[in-house]
C-alpha cells in the first residue's frame, strides 16, 4: 500500500495572521525544526503566496515539498483545522531516464519522512484528531483516510 502523505489535524497554534503573513508560521517552524532534529535536511519555512507556509526536505536527488496551511474546517468529521501536504515529485525526465530504483527510493523517503512527522505530532499534546490521507484520493468519495501514514 502506498504511503498516505497528507495529514489533517487540530492543533493549538495561532490561527490569526501576523504582520500580513498567513497563519501557521509557528506551526511550520515547529514541524520543520523537529524534522531537522530527527536528522532530515529541512530548510526554513517560507511564505507560500500569502496563503500558507512551505519548506523543503532534501535527500540526495529527491526533495519533499511540505505545505502547512490553515483549513479551519472544524465542522468536518473529524474536524480538520490544519493540513500538511507532503509531495516528492519525480520530474518527467527523472521518471523517463532514472533507474527503476529511484521510484522505490522516493516511496521509502516519503514513508520515512511521514512516519517521523506522525511521531512528532502524535507525541505532542497540542495535536489531536490526526488523520492521514492519500494524495490521489484526498477529499474524493473513495477516500480511505487512516490513523497513520
Provide the residue ranges of all domains of the chain, joining segments of one domain with +. 11-109
With 0-12 / 13-18 / 19 or more C-beta atoms within 10 angstroms meaning exposed / middle / buried, residue 142 is: exposed
pLDDT at 20: 83
pLDDT at 91: 56
Helix (H, G, I), strand (E, B), or coil: what is residue 88?
coil
Regarding pTM above 0.85, the answer is yes
Number of H-type helices and E-type strands within the chain? 3, 7
Give how far Cα 31 sits from Cα of 9, 25, 75, 105, Å. 13, 10, 25, 23
Assess whether pLDDT exceeds 60 at residue 19.
Answer: yes
Q: CB-hemisphere CA count at 13 Å for 105?
A: 14
Q: CB-hemisphere CA count at 13 Å for 108?
A: 6
Q: Which three cell numbers stand for residue 5?
A: 502523505
Distance separating alpha carbons of residues 43 and 24, to the nearest angstrom: 16
pLDDT at 7: 98
Amino acid at each position: 500500500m502506498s504511503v498516505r502523505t497528507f495529514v489533517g489535524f487540530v492543533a493549538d497554534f495561532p490561527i490569526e495572521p501576523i504582520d500580513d503573513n498567513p497563519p501557521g508560521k509557528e506551526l511550520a517552524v515547529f514541524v520543520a525544526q523537529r524534522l531537522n532534529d530527527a536528522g532530515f535536511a529541512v530548510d526554513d519555512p517560507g511564505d507560500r503566496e500569502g496563503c500558507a507556509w512551505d519548506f523543503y526536505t532534501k535527500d540526495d536527488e529527491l526533495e519533499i515539498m511540505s505545505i502547512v496551511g490553515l483549513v479551519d474546517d472544524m465542522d468536518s468529521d473529524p474536524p480538520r483545522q490544519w493540513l500538511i501536504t507532503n509531495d516528492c515529485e519525480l520530474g518527467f525526465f527523472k521518471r523517463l531516464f532514472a533507474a527503476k530504483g529511484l521510484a522505490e527510493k522516493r516511496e521509502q523517503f516519503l514513508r520515512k519522512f511521514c512516519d517521523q512527522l506522525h511521531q512528532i505530532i502524535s507525541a505532542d499534546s497540542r495535536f489531536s484528531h490526526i488523520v492521514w490521507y492519500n494524495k490521489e484520493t484526498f477529499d474524493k468519495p473513495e477516500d480511505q483516510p487512516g490513523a497513520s501514514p
